[in-house]
Structure 1
Amino acid sequence: MKRLSRAFGRGSSEPKVQQASTPKSNGTLGTNGVVNNEAQTEPWILEERSIDASRPMRVVVIGSGISGIISSIRLRQRISKLDLVVYEKNADIGGTWLENRYPGCACDIPAHTYQASFEPNKEWSTFYAAAPEIHKYWKRVSDKYGCENHIKFKHQVVGATWDSMRSKWTLQVKNTDSDEIFEDQCDVVVSASGALNEWKWPSIPGLHDFKGKLLHSASWDESYDYSGKRVAVIGNGSSGIQIVPGMLPKVTHLDHYIRGRTWLSPTFAREQIDKRNSELENFSFTLEEIETFKKDHFTYQAFRKEIEKELQSVHGATLVGTPEQLGTTDFFTENMKRRLRKKPELVNDLLPAFPPICRRLTPGPGYLEALTDDKVDVISNPIVKIVEDGVVTADGKHHPTDVVVCATGFNTTFTPRFPIIGQNGVSLADRWEQTPENYLSLAVDGFPNYFICLGPNAALGEGNLLLLIEKEIDYITICLDKMQRDNIRTINVRKEAVERFRRHCDQYFSRTVFAMECRSWYKGGSMDGRIVALWPGSSLHAMKALAYPRWEDYAYEYVNDNPNGWIGDGWAEDERNKIINVDYLDDDQVDFPTAVIAKAIESAKTFQFE
């Protein structure tokens, strides 16, 4: 064999076999494979590339929140010959967990399920981790995997246009320090900027005439000391529910203005709370428990799986008429009564007429308990106007206050925050003017090589959102790998696939509690609008749906307009470089059919028994 390899030049540093150049003639191939120059022209489809060669690809990720960080990690892990840049408008990573710093800001699902699957954190100090601790965790992940080497901070994408002639995206990027705008180009755009990142002031007459301190949950002034102040908190969505108990210890009085009633869910892992004899729906981990988690991986895994299993076990409650759904009202009512027992009169003011889970659920650790405090007044009368020194409600009462806090949410329309222009000059904002239809929440027809993390119909009414984010990014990396492997220059979801997914969503949600009459951001803030925010199924369902792309739902354009280019010119990449690797014979590479043997033995036992 040594002589044979020498004879064929395997030991030489230079290839002994020269590649044949593409015929210059207008000939065609005869039945014996020989070019016939006198015959009619036939296109040459043999591409001069190895079958497993990866063409270079430039990818731009917009945003360095959780989706952007995981995208940066997985793309660099799985895509070879990658030129990656991440544009981030802020001065640091973190997205939501960098921008939202209001008192009480925390994760509203257990922290041990709100982490990357590949980077478990055994040091969470509380069950529902606060924003600074969450940001610290993702900062550590970003540092560990070298994400910031590819992030351009204080750079905001302000425009994106598809160039059909060159099959490239042209981006307009603003340096937020200098306001200079420059152009960049890439093969693929991954939008990881999230949906809930454009906050707005509420439309309340006189709001900006207020002479006290005006604050918004998404633009908090951390330098302001509200100690000893009278405070008005407007809104009882997820932010307001956290702000009330967060501010309460320092204020002299707090008026809480609620527009509608809402359900507060029981806390996950209630048994863990009961073990600690805790009155609150939250608890902190002791240093001893944290050290145990760090030292004993199996103990930590058991705890984490217990929480995860509970989180993933409530899908049935979202479907109208199931036993789980029919039992939720009584279960939630008893939970809220227990937590409001110091002021039982609040129960009638807070319990909604619509069923639980119609709106986004939150356990709201400490919220209901805070409402029973003597310093808190719950006000359901609508606000008519805000004056220089307070709030005026519809009953004519003037409520003096020093601080007005607007916990009034974000723009939930999914309208792009900057112009995105696809094929034939179509704007994504116009495309989504009526409804943000899409395919599997991550692709839109007419916008090739454009993927969205947490796009329309990606959020979850229950389950684990972090796993869905990871699966979306896995899906995107599979698509990019196919583009490199199959010599594809554009991948574009088919219009009919988008239409089918829209119809599927509408039919699915018609049987769920989400479609019942309640005002929700799932419906763009309306009472009875189309559900545009949620995935049509459970978290586990989403993981299965995104496990592998259905390639037939996409249309492709190929490099050199040659669909045969994927098969290359007869070489494998290692082979061309004189690397002959036969590790396919290694035991860890061979797919031993041991399960077939086990089934055969079991079948034989069953047959013998019968």
Structure 2
Amino acid sequence: MFERIQRSFSSKRTTSSISEPTVETSGSERPAYQLGDFPIDAGRPLKVLVIGAGFSGIAAGIRFLQRIPNVELTIYEKNEGVGGTWWSNRYPGLACDIPSHCYQYTFFPHTQWSAVYAPGAEILAYLQNVVATYGLEKYIKLRHEMVAAKWDEAAAQWRLSIQRPKQSLDGSDAGVEVFEDTADLLFTGIGGLSRWNWPEIEGLQTFKGTLTHSAQWEVGGESSPAPVEPVVRKGWEEDVKDWGDKRVAVIGVGSSAIQIVPALQPRVGKLLNFVRGKTWLALPFAGGKMAELIGRDPASTNYVFTEEEKEKFKDPEYYKEFRHALEDDLNGVHLGTLKDTEMQKGAREAFKASMLQRLAKKPWIADHIIPEFGVACRRLTPGPGYLEALCEDNVDFITTHIKRITETGIETIDGQHHEVDVIVCATGYDTTFSLPFPIVGRNGVTIADKWTPHPTTYLSICVDDFPNWFFSLGPNSGVGSGSLLALIEYQVDYAVRAAQKLVREGLKSIEIRKEAVEDYDEYIENYFPITVYSEKCRSWYKMGKEEGRVVGLWPGSCLHALLALKEPRWEDFNYQRIDGSRNRLRWLGNGMTYNEQHSTGDRAWYLNDENVDIPPAPLRPE
């Protein structure tokens, strides 16, 4: 009987409106309230544009589709394939520099990494698998590059200029064309290590041999070919198969050079590593917690997993415990980044001893590579095989500064000329967050102006004067220790929750308050002086400078970042409502949910497993 009455009531509700008569007001009187003719969960449609299809953009695509019912999503990617930096980079020795089991999404575990530090091709394949699994291909537009973005105040939307290849009638490329797209919410996941420059060395472009950069590996072959199904990219090994008698110069001692040198050393006639700075090399993770967990000899230098070990990882419970133990250990070293802590002192002693041992064949190198500054002041990498490669007979470690490049080689300031056939510039990226395209916010403010002399943000995810724009891996988003992928996911989740708020409450814009940005800036300025990052060392953390503002790292530990981002402080934002109502709760609608009004769907969803929080008993075990 009651069900029939309920159905009758519901059907009437769907054909009639709930409203109040408008009452005219004068002066400063509040206008009469008009009840919304919509259920509380009707939600506004939302158009979201994501820039970049690397780890950040892929995670964003998945979460926006999962959690925003009325979303219209497009992901623009400038490259010919997904993967971000793992698509763009293919230099010799490219690999993860933290354990690969800690370099994956929390929601998409992969058990079959070939090695502790998996090669770049495997990481790219992992990301391609994620895209295929979640069916993101239909939302991703490859070879589409954002070249400008401007906030349209009247429409409360972002207007983006997108550049793409222009095709002729026969299907071949005919230059490029630019078109406009709009977004209610813009999410950028372009990363801080995606823009590279040639080093400023006199005569560099006069070199007649092979000149390449680690960030754009080209030695006469393809650098970023069009994808094939499945995408298979030519390995760098093929590029260097005829280098057995060549003299190869590698300029740099950053993380890329540290991977390139041991990869090329056994494949070339002579390798010259030109180094102007010093760096710490960490103890290999495989010899510590990893060895303990899988039962290896802690002194083992074999970083490749056996088939038996990979088979054990297929057990979900075993793998879950294994990965949890790894990340727990990875998150346990933050104290080592603080000045004068026992962990920092212990790391210096242990790393120095390890480096001296690995340089036993050429001990003089230690004087030129072991730093005086603290461990982790520069990006820390284990560098498997690097120091051992420097000790080989066909490798010269050259610390005399480069004066200029000639047509046939490299001249150092002491007058020596080194004849080489190949020059590899492993000299890093533009880490100043000087974006290669204009982004214009409210009142004509550009992000270039906003981020001069250094970038300022709120919790490293948004900035004042730029409504409805969130980003990951922007300024102060890196981690000195811990899982970068976890931080990316939490930055994405924050943006998605902001989108949910826009949808749920009928808002047209959300913008962080200027004073909140200023407060975060003040916190950053007072945090980093207690860390080793503020010591004198040239680092991309400090925009490539020896001293100054730290813009590359989160001001705290990885776990600190996750808790800071877990629960948004909505009071730190300003809002504008779509309907212009003065009543901030008009989104309550007509007092019903969609399923009630339309007699459809689940009307007892609060009993579903994901919504039931069963407390443990007893609550506080003794």
> CA 1:184–1:22 in structure 2 vs 1: closer, same or farther (change >3 Å)?
farther
Structure 1 residue identity aligned to 2:536: E
- Shift of residue 527, structure 1, vs aligned partner: 1.2
| Conserved 8 A contact 1:261-1:350 | yes
Choose the corresponding residue for 1:229, options 203, 222, 246: 246
**Is 2:582 the partner of 1:565?**
no
Residue number among 353, 359, 363 corresponding to 1:340 in the alignment: 359
Structure 1 position 203 matched with structure 2 position 216? no
Partner of 1:238: 255
Cross-structure match for 2:18: 20
Moved more, 432-441 or 176-185: 176-185
Q: Which runs of 5+ in 1 are unaligned?
A: 29-39, 604-610
* Secondary structure in structure 1 of the residue aligned to 2:176: coil
* Cα offset, 1:560, TM superposition: 1.2
Match of 1:487 in 2: 506
Alignment partners' CA distance in 1, 2:163 and 2:10:
51
Give yes or no for the alignment of 1:313 onto 2:332: yes
Aligned equivalents of 2:525 and 2:613: distance in 1?
Answer: 45
Amino acid at match of 2:569: R
TM-score norm. by structure 1 comes to: 0.92
Q: Contact 1:280 / 1:365 at 8 angstroms: preserved in 2?
A: no
Measure, in 2, the Cα distance between the counterparts of 1:208 and 1:419: 29
Q: 1:16 to 1:230 in 2, by over 3 A?
A: closer
- Gap runs ≥5 in structure 2: 167-174, 222-238
Compute the displacement of 1:407 (Å).
0.3
Query: Which residue pairs with 1:352 in the alignment?
Result: 371
User: How many Å separate the matches in 2 of 1:156 and 1:231?
Assistant: 34
Q: Match of 2:150?
A: 161
C-alpha deviation, 1:582, in angstroms: 4.2
For the residues of structure 1 that align with 2:177 and 2:610, how far apart are their CA atoms? Answer: 52
Q: Does structure 1 conserve the Cα–Cα contact (< 8 Å) formed by 2:22 and 2:34?
A: no
Cα distance in structure 1, aligned partners of 2:298 and 2:592: 67
User: Counterpart of 2:81 in structure 1: which amino acid?
Assistant: D
SS in 2 for 1:308: helix
**Aligned-partner SS, 1:106:** coil
- Amino acid aligned to 1:196: L
Is the 8 Å Cα contact of residues 247 and 271 (structure 2) preserved in structure 1? yes
CA distance in 2, matches of 1:166, 1:587: 39
Q: TM-score, normalised by structure 2?
A: 0.90
C-alpha change, 1:273 and 1:404, in structure 2 (3 Å) is farther
Work out which of the residue numbers 239, 244, 249 in structure 1 matches 2:266.
Answer: 249
Match of 1:184 in 2: 181
Preserved contact between residue 282 and residue 366 of structure 1 (Cα < 8 Å): no
Q: Is 2:404 aligned against 1:385?
A: yes
State how far apart, in whole Å, the 2-side matches of 1:276 and 1:16 are.
67
> Aligned equivalents of 1:281 and 1:191: distance in 2?
39
Residue 532 of structure 2: aligned partner: 513
Deviation (angstroms), 1:417: 1.8
Q: Which amino acid aligns with 2:355?
A: M
Whole-angstrom distance in 1 between the partners of 2:606 and 2:154: 45
1:457 and 1:535 in contact (8 A); partners too = yes
- Give the partner amino acid of 1:154: R
Quote the sequence identity (%): 44
Paired with 2:371 and 2:539, the residues of 1 have a C-alpha distance of 13
Q: Which stretch of the first structure deviates more once superposed, 43-52 or 569-578?
A: 43-52
Counterpart in the other structure of 1:258: 275
Q: 1:565 to 1:281 in 2, by over 3 A?
A: farther
Rg larger in structure: 1
- Output the CA distance in 2 between the equivalents of 1:319 and 1:451: 30
- 2:30 and 2:615 map into 1 onto residues whose CA distance is 53
Aligned to 1:33: none
Q: Aligned residue for 2:232?
A: none
1:332 CA displacement: 1.1
**Matched residue type, 2:100:** A
Is it true that 1:7 corresponds to 2:5 in the alignment?
A: yes
Q: Write the deviation string for residues 313-362 of structure 1: whole angstroms up to 9, x where unpaired.
A: 11001111221122221111011112112222221121111111111100
Quick one: which of 47, 54, 71 aligns to 2:36? 47
Within the candidate set 273, 279, 286, 2:306 is matched to: 286
Q: Is the 8 A contact 2:21 2:34 kept in 1?
A: no
Report the CA distance between 1:255 and its aligned residue: 0.4
1:129 matched to 2:148: no
3-state SS, counterpart of residue 85 of structure 1: strand
Q: Which moved more, 1:572-581 or 1:249-258?
A: 572-581
Alpha-carbon distance, 1:594 to partner:
4.7
Distance of 1:280 and 1:221 partners within structure 2: 35
Preserved contact between residue 481 and residue 557 of structure 2 (Cα < 8 Å): yes
How far the C-alpha of 1:279 sits from its partner, in A, is 7.3
Q: 2:93 aligns with which of 95, 98, 104?
A: 104
Q: Report the residue type matching 2:306 in the other structure.
A: T
Equivalent residue number for residue 437 of structure 2: 418
Task: Work out whether residues 212 and 402 of structure 1, in 8 Å CA contact, stay in contact via their aligned partners in 2.
Answer: yes
SS in 2 for 1:489: strand
Shift of 1:15: 4.2
Q: Structure 2 residue aligned with 1:90, among 79, 95, 105?
A: 79
* AA partner of residue 509 (structure 1): F
Question: What does 1:376-455 align with in structure 2 at a 5 Å threshold?
Answer: 376-455=395-474
Q: Choose which of 61, 64, 73 in structure 1 pairs with 2:62.
A: 73
CA distance in 1, matches of 2:481, 2:196: 24
Count of residues in correspondence between the two structures: 588
What is the CA–CA distance in structure 2 between the aligned matches of 1:493 and 1:41, rounded to whole Å?
Answer: 27
Are residues 389 and 440 of structure 1, via their aligned partners in 2, closer, same or farther at CA, if it must alter by over 3 Å? Answer: same
Q: 1:6 to 1:418 in 2, by over 3 A?
A: same
Q: Is the 8 A contact 2:478 2:554 kept in 1?
A: yes
Look up the SS of the partner of 1:546 in the other structure: helix
Shift of 1:276: 4.9
Per-residue CA distance 1:349-402 (angstroms, 9 max, x = gap): 211111111111000111111111111000000000111111110111111100
Q: What is the Cα deviation at residue 16 of structure 1?
A: 6.7
Q: CA deviation at 1:311?
A: 1.1
Which of the residues 329, 345, 352 maps onto 1:326?
345
Report the secondary structure of 2:48's partner residue: strand
Q: Counterpart in 2 of 1:145? A: 134
Does the aligned pair in 1 maintain the 2:508–2:577 contact within 8 Å? yes
- SS of the equivalent of 1:127 reads coil
Q: Is the Cα contact below 8 Å between 1:280 and 1:369 reproduced in 2?
A: no
Residues 110 and 587 (structure 1 numbering): CA distance in 2 closer, same or farther, change over 3 Å?
closer
2:611 & 2:69 partners in 1: Cα distance? 24
The one-letter code of the counterpart of 1:6 is R
Question: Is this contact kept in 1: 2:286–2:301, CA < 8 A?
Answer: no
Change (3 A) 1:170 1:584: closer
Q: Supply the distance in 1 between the matched residues of 2:410 and 2:566 (Cα, whole angstroms).
A: 52
Deviates more, 1:562-571 or 1:245-254: 562-571
Secondary structure of 1:417 counterpart: coil
RMSD: 2.2
C-alpha separation in 1, matches of 2:417 and 2:316: 57
SS at match of 1:86: strand
Asked if 2 retains the 8 angstrom alpha-carbon contact of 1:273 and 1:281, the reply is no
| Residue identity matched to 1:131 | G
Q: Report the CA distance shift for 1:364/1:528 in structure 2 as closer, same or farther (over 3 A).
A: same
